[in-house]
Amino acid sequence: MLTVLLVCLSGALLLHGYTHHLYGTTPDGEAIAEGPHNAVPAAIANGGPVIDATTGAARSVRPRAKMIAITFDDGPDPVWTPKVLDLLRDQGVKATFFVIGTEVVAHPGLARRIVAEGHQIGVHTFTHANLSTVPAWRRSLELRQSQLILAGATGVSTPLLRPPYSSEPNALTNADWAAVKHARDAGYLTVLTTQDSEDWRRPGATQVIANSMPKGAAGQVLLMHDAGGDRSQTLDALAKLIPRLKARGFAFATVSDTVGLPQPVHSAGLVERGRGMAVIGAMRLSDGTLNVITWLLYIAGALSVLRAVTTVIAAKRHARERYWSWGEPVTEPVSVIVPAYNESAGIEAAVRSLLASDYPVEVIVVDDGSTDGTADLVESLNLPGVRVIRQLNAGKPAALNTGLLASSYELVVMVDGDTVFEPDAVRMLVQPFADPSVGAVSGNAKVLNRKGLLGRWQHIEYVVGFNLDRRLFDLAECMPTVPGAVGGFRRSALQRIGGLSDVTLAEDTDLTMALCRDGWRVVYEERARAWTEAPASLGALWRQRYRWCYGTLQAMWKHRGAWVQRGQSGKLGRRGLTYLMLFQVLLPLLAPIVDVFAIYGLVFLNPVRVGLVWVGFLAVQFGMGLYAFRLDGEQAGPLWSLPLQQFVYRQLMYLVVIQSVFTALAGSRLRWQRMERYGTLSVPPAAPSTEGFP
C-alpha cells in the first residue's frame, strides 16, 4: 500500500514538475536563432509563414494582399485574454490564438470562449518547450498532449502549430527545420510570422503600433501576446491599430482565411475528448496534490521545530532540577525481577551486575519456558540472594506477574535479561519513591554494543530521542513509558491495577499508562543507568521497533479515554498521548512526503535552496544531539554519523511507524517478535560524572 501511495505521489509530482518547471518562461522574441541554415530548403526560407503539412515537397504559403492575421501567443491568461477578446468583439475582428496546454488546463473556460466566438485556435506546445532543442520523444509528447487537452477542454482538434521561440521563415535554422519537419510528419500546419509587434518588450503602445504597421500592401501574420505579463500596452495598441489599418484598406481574418486554406479546426472524436479530459483531470490532481503537500510540509516543519524547541527547553529545565530532593533517602530493600526466555547469552552478566549494586536487593529470575538452559545456568552460579522460578512459556507479562507474586518487598525493579546495571543504578532508581505520589520511575537505558554504524545510530536515538523526550514527559507529568530494561515500581500500585496485561505487545507502555490513569505519578531518573544490548542487524532492529511501535499504538488506543479525564490521567491523555500522536505517529507518516518532495525540489526547483534547507534541518538535529550528549555525559564522537542516519536509519524508523499504522488500521494482529541475543553483555565501567553540569 505504501509503495502504491509513493508511486502515485511521485507520479503526481513528476507531472506537476514537468508541466510547471521544465519549459521556457522567456518571451518568444527573446530567443536568438543560432546555428547553420544550410538544411532549410530555399522554398521555405524565402517563402511564406504558413508551412503546409501535406505530403510531398515542402511548400509554404503567404497571406493574400491587404489581409492581416493577428495571432496571440502564450495564453489563455485569466486577466488579459478576456480583455483581448472583448476588444476584438467590439472591433468585429477574428484572430488566431496559439495556446499553451498547461494554461488551457488552468483556464479551460477561456479556451472554450475563443472557439465559441469564432476565433481560430492553435497549439503553442504543452509547456512552451523549444521544439528545436528538445529530443524527439518530448516533441511528440508536447504536441500530443496539447492536442488532447484542447479536445478535452473545447471539444475541437486543430493542426495549427506555432513553435515557441520561432519568428520569420528566413530565421529558421537546421534545428528549427528538423522540428518543423517532425511536426509536418505529425500532420501539423506550422504557422510562423512576418511581423513581430515586439509587445513582449513593453516598449510603449506607440512603438507597438509602429512595429505592427505593414510597410506595403502585402498580407501579414502579426505576432502579439495575450499572456506572459502585463499586456496593457498590447490592448492600447490594438485599440488604435485596428481602426488605422482598416482605414488603409486592410482586412482582418484568421490564419487559414488569410492564406485561403479550408477551415483546419474540426470537432474532436468522443474518444479524444475522453482522453483529453483524463489528461486535464490528472494535471489538476497533480496541482491539488502539490497544494496538499505544501501544507503538509508546513505542518511537518512546524512539528519538527516545535519538538526541537520544547524538548531542549524541557531538558534544560530538567537538568537544573535533577538533584531535587524527593525527601528522606530511600533505604528499604528492593526486589529485582528478571523475566527470561532463552537468555543464556547474557543472563549471567545481568544477574552479576544486579548483585554488584551498592543497594540491598533480592534477584528473582523467572524462566519463562526457556529451551537454552537459562534457568540451569543461573542456578549453577550459586549466587546468594538469587532465586530462580521456572514456569511454562506464557509470555513476558505473565513472567513479570509471577515475579511480583514472589517478591518480598514493596519496591520492585524490573529489568530485561539483556541489561546490566551500574552499581548505583538501583539506589538512584528508587530515590523518587520518597514521594508517596510516585508510582513508577524510568531509568536511563543506554546502548552497550554501540560499535558500527547501526550501533552508533541506536546510541544517538537513545540519547537524543528517548531521553530528551523522557525529560519533557517528566516535567509535564505525563510519562507514557517506563522501559522494560530499567524501571522501578511500587508493588502496591501494580497490584491495584491488576498487574501487567498481555493485551498489547508493549507491556511496559501499557503498564505505565495504566499507572498514570490510576492517579500515580511517573518520573524519570537519568542517573539510574543501565546498559542494554541493541539489535545488531537491520532485520532484528526492524522486528524490535515494529513490535514497540505497534504495541504503543495498541496502548494509546486502549487508554484513549485519558484524553477526556481529569487529574493525572488527563495529563497523560492531553499531554502525553497528544505528544505521541503528533511526533511519533503523524510526523513519521509525513516523512516520506517530505523526502519525495525534497527529490522533487532537487530535480525541478532550486537545488541550492533545497540543499540549504536540508543543511539547516541537519544543523538543528546536530545541535540537539550535542546538547543531549552533554546532558548524558557522553562523548560527542558518534554524532559524525548523524548525516548518514538521515538517509538510512531515519527512513527505517519512519517505515516502521507507517507499517504499524497500516497494520493497526487493517485490524491485523502482530505476533510477539523476540530479539536475537549476541552475548556482548558485560558489566561496564561507571559512566563519567556529570556533577555540576548546568
Q: What is the maximum span of the chain, computed from C-alpha positions, in angstroms?
A: 118
Q: Which residues are catalytic?
A: 73, 225
- The strand pairing partners of 529, in sequence order, are 444
Query: Which CA distances in Å does 398 have to 329, 486, 509, 671?
Result: 32, 18, 15, 16
What is the C-alpha to C-alpha distance for residues 163 and 494, in angstroms, rounded to an integer?
79
- Residue pair 205/237 in contact by the 8 Å Cβ criterion: yes
Would strands 438-447 and 487-490 be described as parallel, antiparallel, or unpaired? antiparallel
* Cα–Cα nearest to 650, from 617, 612, 602: 617
Chain-centroid distance of CA 210 in Å reads 53
Q: How many other CB atoms sit within 10 Å of the CB of residue 79?
A: 11
Cβ(130)–Cβ(165) under 8 Å? yes
Q: First CA to last CA across the chain, in angstroms? A: 48
Give every strand in the sheet of 386-391, ordered side by side.
Answer: 386-391, 361-368, 334-340, 411-414, 487-490, 438-447, 521-532, 419-421
Query: How far apart are alpha carbons 557 and 348 in whole angstroms?
Result: 37
3-class secondary structure per residue, 432-447: HHHCCCEEEEEEEEEE
* 60 beta partners: 51
Query: Exposed/middle/buried for 402, CB within 10 Å: 0-12, 13-18, 19+?
Result: buried
How far CA 621 is from CA of 314, 562, 598, 641, 647, in Å, comes to 16, 32, 17, 12, 14
